[in-house]
């Protein structure tokens, strides 16, 4: 182990607040999903790098859903915490909230999980410090992160292996009721 250290969740907790300006809008007048994704990546990076004490990279993103639109003029706050640490990776949980500053109307728009890995100056993966869990919620989130890591791994393996040996006939049968046409030119 490179790191024998443990750090508190609160040591790396990060909140980023940004005003949604008109240039962030899509053709429908709402904020582009990509703007929010970029802010999520930024806050995940800050939180992960504070915990790891090193440069970090984004490995995977889970649970991003845009269930209610964010409006131009809203204040968007992204609250990030390290929920889980493995050997070299961390799962950062992000809660996204949008508030209309005039009406003070508030909505929770999304919660998602960014897996970040720590690297050294040579681009090699390095061990991250452990996590001190100080309450039941942090313990629960750590266990959920462990579960998410295992499910994500199984999902990747399933996707890779599941259909690779199937014949064209079997694949065509699978999509016979879908909106797709197989036309080889
Ligand atoms: C992701 C990356 C670090 C994996 O490297 P690797 O040599 O395959 O190393 P490993 O398989 O040991 O994975 C390293 C860690 O990432 C985790 N990991 C790897 N792929 C993952 C995935 N698809 N989803 C979630 N976690 C993943 C592993 O579980 C491991 O975690 P642990 O050490 O805490 O147990 C490497 O592919 C990389 O650097 N990718 C580029 C990342 C980048 O530049 N992102 C910026 C966006 S452009």
**pLDDT by residue (tens digit) across 138-170?**
999 999 999 999 999 998 888 877 677 889 999
pTM of the model: 0.92
The protein residue whose alpha carbon is closest to atom 37 in ligand 1 is 59
Please give the pLDDT value at position 1.
Answer: 47
Please give the pLDDT value at position 103.
Answer: 95
Average pLDDT over residues 168-182: 94
Is residue 3's pLDDT more than 70? no
CA of 3 from ligand 1 middle (Å) equals 19
Q: How confident is the model at residue 12 (pLDDT cuts 50, 70, 90)?
A: very high
State both tokens at 27. 């053709």
Please give the pLDDT value at position 185.
Answer: 85
Strands 106-119 and 55-62: antiparallel
Average pLDDT over residues 57-82: 95
CATH class of 6-174: alpha beta
Lowest mean pLDDT among 18-32, 114-128, 165-179: 165-179
Average pLDDT over residues 120-136: 97
Does ligand 1 lie within 6 Å of residue 152's CB atom? yes
CA of 62 from ligand 1 middle (Å) equals 14
Instruction: Collect all residues with Cβ–Cβ distance below 8 Å to 27 and sequence separation of at least 6.
Output: none
Nearest to 149 by CA among 94, 93, 67: 93
Share of the chain above pLDDT 90, in %: 88
Q: Round the average pLDDT of the chain to a whole number and report it.
A: 94
Does ligand 1 lie within 6 Å of residue 61's CB atom? no
Is residue 184's pLDDT more than 80? yes
Is residue 74's pLDDT more than 60? yes
Q: How confident is the model at residue 54 (pLDDT cuts 50, 70, 90)?
A: very high
Chain centroid offset of residue 165 CA: 32
CB atoms within 10 A of CB 9: 21
């Amino acid at each position: 182990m490179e790191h024998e250290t443990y750090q508190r969740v609160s040591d790396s907790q990060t909140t980023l607040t940004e005003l949604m300006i008109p240039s962030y809008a899509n053709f429908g007048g709402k904020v582009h999903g990509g703007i929010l994704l970029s802010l999520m990546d930024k806050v995940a990076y800050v939180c992960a790098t504070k915990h790891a004490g090193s440069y970090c990279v984004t490995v995977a993103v889970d649970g991003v859903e845009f269930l209610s639109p964010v409006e131009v003029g809203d204040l968007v706050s992204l609250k990030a915490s390290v929920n889980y640490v493995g050997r070299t990776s961390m799962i950062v949980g992000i809660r996204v909230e949008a508030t209309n500053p005039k009406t003070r109307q508030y909505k929770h728009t999304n919660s998602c999980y960014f897996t970040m890995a720590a690297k050294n100056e040579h681009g090699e993966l390095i061990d991250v410090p452990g996590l001190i869990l100080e309450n039941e919620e942090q313990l629960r989130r750590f266990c959920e992160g462990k579960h998410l890591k295992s499910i994500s791994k199984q999902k990747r393996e399933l996707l890779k292996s599941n259909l690779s040996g199937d014949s064209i006939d079997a694949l065509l049968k699978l999509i016979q009721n879908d909106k797709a046409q197989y036309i080889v030119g």
